[in-house]
Structure 1
């Protein structure tokens, strides 16, 4: 069976969950091809190793030889830009029709394929995976209805959490065409190695793109509050990742008088990130709804931290409470509540025994519900069933 993935720029370090899902299908003897909106490997991605070596061989740009026109078309007025883009999308019709089923990651990519199906140009059934930005931003702008063609011509919509499922159904998707399918992690590659936090410097870590919705600003403000309220408390905070908000975050750390305790590492290879996690005690990701409506799905970084044995601190945001049970498998604070975040971290510092139990329960939660092997088995069945029904 041939499965065609439709994605944005490929491959992307911030979307390794997509690559991992593709790898899962390859391991189950599916053929996988990719249609993307720009072939541009990011730093720290080695395309010479598997599964990327195989995937890159089967990757094509939406516009093929005309891909060089993308920057020019982006400068056109919106109406003309949309017409030109739709016309150039037809260059991938033959490629898309060579697949038995199409899997689009992110709603806007699914909608792009659905427009071709609406015109009768392609025939394979469409599965669309919704992750966060593709739900939160159109919800904020009151335009979730723009997915109506996808809801009509797509075969199945797979939001990564139940919160998104409810929103898509409210926007007009048939409940029979919407089913939660979570992203997961390979727990066999993440040993459970909780670090003792008794009478040692408490090591906190965040791993994320440095953008608004990740909420790192509020983690920094919480740590500034911790320093003011408990100056004798010994801690270090490592922030792994890069992004447009890095300078702003460094300024917040300076204003909070915590630069001596905070390290910004920039982006790191995945193996190095896993080593940083192994040395840490607490993983902090206080996600928030961004000003443009952008939201999380369920961050893979939280799953990895829980699997590794860290105590996680996050927020009541989007699907995160579906992963973390407050004061059972981690800690949840209201969005942007700096005082609640600080209180959680101070509680963690003074209750090591309880946190050890939380870590064990968190690992079990990930093993049972976010295990990539189990989820990839389920996804392979979904793809096969949709392809058969679409013939």
Structure 2
């Protein structure tokens, strides 16, 4: 089924879930509708860049269309003028049968033109688009107006669907399908004793400073080590804090790394640490891919009851969870994990759950089947 994948920036190496859809959905019979194209296209796809420079006529018409689209759709994201005509021609020329908009905010821009052309459109909610974005009353209104235009909605976690519903935004054809992980590539190997790993951007919702401080306090007097992979605004403060806490010799900051580097580290790591919290601006996780990858590699996860994480971790069986910002609880959970007498059993259970719930081949086929079923094909 010829599918257009709607996304923001393309190609983004860290967006493995979106890139997998671009590469493999319906046998790879896909094209890309992106906000911006950065010049990298490893899949050889036909690409339409929605935020290309405006024509002279469209620059003059911009104030009118901004007000018109805000009045009609509660958003100014929609294409208009030459950009809209070019997009319509692209969709016709490529014989697009269905559109999958990755992130609800992308669906806002594409749903009206999809309806005009008679192309079914689905949206996939993944985190920020169903948390931080909902702080805006205008986005709430735009989502509510958009829902009847969609053929269906997908989400990586039930938490996000529930969060949308709390704001009065619902769709009768909504399904939870996590991003998943390649359980054939992400698989356990020999584990390094007392090894811990944290993966993700150094930003508020990942709370790397809490993770670091709790690790230092929980593992004092041990040989436990912690590797951080990622970068961001809290990277340097974390390095400074590691020195202040006297654990610089047991904590390694790798910065941003390729996905293969992350996989190799996970394969040899015993414990995965992620103290996710709701940021001040409302930003949350959906269901972190890194946790799914860690489970596939047989890592025992220590994390928080945040967003979709409790939908992945069975407490006491595959990991340990505490409330957000509960530093005493997180420190004790790390200590409990490192001293548990059933670490091999928990690791095997984590791997089993990943195979059962998060195999991305199975999840991809489930997504395809649900789209086909909705469209009666």
| Residue number among 36, 39, 58 corresponding to 2:37 in the alignment | 39
- Measured in 1, the distance between the counterparts of 2:127 and 2:202 equals 16
What's the TM-score, normalizing by structure 2? 0.87
Asked if the contact 2:198–2:274 (Cα under 8 Å) also holds between the matched residues in 1, the reply is: yes
- Measured in 2, the distance between the counterparts of 1:12 and 1:204 equals 27
Asked if the contact 1:125–1:155 (Cα under 8 Å) also holds between the matched residues in 2, the reply is: yes
- Measured in 2, the distance between the counterparts of 1:84 and 1:19 equals 23
Corresponding residue number in structure 2 for 1:220: 212
- Measured in 2, the distance between the counterparts of 1:203 and 1:84 equals 46
- Measured in 2, the distance between the counterparts of 1:299 and 1:179 equals 17
After the TM superposition, which residues 1-391 of structure 1 pair with which residues of structure 2 at under 5 Å, given as runs? Answer: 1-25=1-25, 28-29=26-27, 31-40=29-38, 47=41, 52-54=42-44, 57-64=45-52, 66=54, 86-87=79-80, 89-90=83-84, 91-97=86-92, 98-117=95-114, 121-142=116-137, 143-193=139-189, 195=191, 197=193, 202-226=194-218, 230=220, 232-351=221-340, 353-388=341-376
- Measured in 1, the distance between the counterparts of 2:126 and 2:188 equals 27
- Measured in 1, the distance between the counterparts of 2:173 and 2:371 equals 13
Asked if the contact 1:316–1:334 (Cα under 8 Å) also holds between the matched residues in 2, the reply is: yes
Structure 1 residues 66 and 192, CA, compared in 2 at 3 Å: closer, same or farther?
same
- Cα deviation, 1:19-61, whole Å, max 9, x if unaligned, reads 1133332xx43510001011126xxxx85xxxx333xx32221
What's the TM-score, normalizing by structure 1? 0.84
- Cα deviation, 1:283-315, whole Å, max 9, x if unaligned, reads 111111111111111111111111111111111
Between 357-366 and 235-244, report the one with greater CA deviation. Answer: 235-244
Asked if the contact 2:202–2:208 (Cα under 8 Å) also holds between the matched residues in 1, the reply is: yes
- Cα deviation, 1:177-201, whole Å, max 9, x if unaligned, reads 222122111101122225163xxxx
Corresponding residue number in structure 2 for 1:71: none
**Unmatched 5+ residue regions in structure 2?**
56-61
Structure 1 residues 276 and 174, CA, compared in 2 at 3 Å: closer, same or farther?
closer
C-alpha root-mean-square deviation of aligned residues, in Å?
2.8
Shift of 1:241: 1.1
Aligned residues: 362
- Measured in 1, the distance between the counterparts of 2:355 and 2:362 equals 9
Structure 1 residues 255 and 370, CA, compared in 2 at 3 Å: closer, same or farther?
same
Shift of 1:204: 1.0
- Measured in 2, the distance between the counterparts of 1:84 and 1:154 equals 17
- Cα deviation, 1:306-356, whole Å, max 9, x if unaligned, reads 1111111111001100000111111111111122111111112222x4121
Corresponding residue number in structure 1 for 2:59: none
- Measured in 1, the distance between the counterparts of 2:345 and 2:351 equals 10
Asked if the contact 2:5–2:21 (Cα under 8 Å) also holds between the matched residues in 1, the reply is: no
Structure 1 residues 160 and 20, CA, compared in 2 at 3 Å: closer, same or farther?
same
Structure 1's consecutive aligned runs of 4 or more residues displaced over 6 angstroms after TM superposition are: 78-82
